[in-house]
Amino acid sequence: MGKMKKLMIAPSLMGMDVLEIKKQIAFLNQKAYMYHVDILDWHYAKNLCFSPDFISQIKTVAEIPIEAHLMVEGTDEGIINAVIEAGADYISLQADEVSKNIFRYIDMIKQKGRKLGIVLNPSVPLSYIESYLDQVDLLTFMGVTPGFAGQKLSECVLDKIAGARELRDAKGYYYQIEIDGGCHMDSIERIGKSGIDVMIVGKTLLFGQDEDICRAWDKMERIFEDVGLALER
């Protein structure tokens, strides 16, 4: 086997067993790169998930960064400040939802010492955020339409990831490239080798592999190794 492509893992806490959260967090603190927490309001996408209070509770036991992904219609300073105060390290905003006030939000996030994340839906081109791409710390590509787990990968996203990687190299940008959604057994090889740095995983690849989080992680790691991907922190 040739040289393995390395990537980092961000478990989506939406997929965790709520009765085993403390135990699972204690294990994942030693393995994962960061935690991914979705904030959904039922309006931006037809699902509900977590609140800033959940982040503040996870923060008490987390030893790695927490990313708050805001899928909130009418995203404004109020919800951004709430997740900052709760302890989120990365504040990820939907590009299509915040374009009007994006520079004010960037200043707000940076002044609080947090990292700026920008999320692009499958239908949104990379050129949409060209004017502020040099300030982005984490660039996330939605592999599916936001809101629900288990959807099939939108293949057009792979070309956008490759383009973002080329642009980063050409311009000297510093953003990490992440994918959220569409990561399944039949797609992880293509996704992992497309140019991403971080893959968000949930029930399909991690939490659903085994009731025991240690065994679940080992099974996931073998799945990645079988397609030439190595996990790192």
Q: Identify the pLDDT of residue 49.
A: 55
Q: Identify the pLDDT of residue 148.
A: 58
Can you tell me the distance from the alpha carbon of 41 to that of 55, in angstroms, rounded to the nearest whole number? 15
Q: Identify the pLDDT of residue 48.
A: 46
Other CB atoms within a 10 A radius of the CB of residue 79 amount to: 19
pLDDT of 4 > 50? The answer is: yes
Distances (CA, A) of 102 to 39, 49, 209: 19, 24, 39
Can you tell me the distance from the alpha carbon of 65 to that of 137, in angstroms, rounded to the nearest whole number? 13
Q: Identify the pLDDT of residue 44.
A: 44
Residue count of the chain? 233
Mean pLDDT of 103-123: 97
For residue range 63-72, what is the model confidence (pLDDT) as tens digits?
Answer: 999 999 998 8
Q: Identify the pLDDT of residue 146.
A: 74
Range of the domain at 204: 5-232
Q: Identify the pLDDT of residue 72.
A: 81
Can you tell me the distance from the alpha carbon of 50 to that of 38, in angstroms, rounded to the nearest whole number? 7
pLDDT of 50 > 70? The answer is: no
Active-site amino acid positions? 38, 180
In degrees rounded to 5, what are phi and psi of residue 211? -65, -30
Mean pLDDT of 24-36: 97
Q: What is the DSSP string of 27-67?
A: HHTTT-S-EEEEEEESSSSS-EE--HHHHHHHHTT--S-EE
For residue range 210-227, what is the model confidence (pLDDT) as tens digits?
Answer: 999 999 999 999 999 999
Distances (CA, A) of 214 to 4, 27, 28: 23, 7, 9
Total number of domains in the chain: 1
Q: Identify the pLDDT of residue 220.
A: 97
Task: Please enumerate in sequence order all residues whose Cβ is within 8 A of that of 59, keeping only pairs 6 or more positions apart, or say none.
Answer: 66, 86, 87
Q: Give the angle 20-26-29 at the CA atoms, nearest 5°.
A: 130
pLDDT of 104 > 60? The answer is: yes
Residue 139 belongs to domain with CATH number: 3.20.20.70
Q: Residue holding tokens 């190299």?
A: 169
Q: Identify the pLDDT of residue 166.
A: 97
